[in-house]
Amino acid sequence: MREVCCPPPEAPARPACPSCGGLGINVDETTVRALLVPDALARLAHATFQFCAAPWCGVVYFSGTCPTFGITDLRVPVWQKSPPGARMVCYCFGENEA
């Protein structure tokens, strides 16, 4: 049996959504910046952002150092936050599931 001299590095803990406690998914700040309406963009600070995919949660993007951003802060609807039948399939042509 072979011994390991060093334990494998631990994966960094994924931050939890401050509203629902669900685990966040990493999102590039460029994506957040591109989707925010002007009022929300004014609150944006440089940060590492997470996406909350929980359909019942009003938070879409969050970080530990910046205010949270919800569905009303975005230019487009979010698939996971929209009710079935009304979810956007194609933003370019405004097509939804219906």
User: What pLDDT digit, counting tens, does each position of 35-56 carry?
Assistant: 999 999 999 999 999 999 999 9
Distance of CA 25 to the CA centre of its chain: 6
- 3-state SS class at 16: strand
- Residue 95's pLDDT band (cuts 50, 70, 90): confident
- pLDDT (0 to 100) of residue 23: 93
β-pairing, 49-51 with 95-96? unpaired
Beta strands in the chain (DSSP E): 25-27, 49-51, 59-62, 69-70, 88-90, 95-96
- Cα 78 from Cα 14, distance rounded (Å): 21
Give pTM, 2 decimals.
0.80
Higher-confidence position of 95 and 23: 23
Higher-confidence position of 72 and 9: 72
- pLDDT (0 to 100) of residue 4: 61
β-pairing, 95-96 with 25-27? unpaired
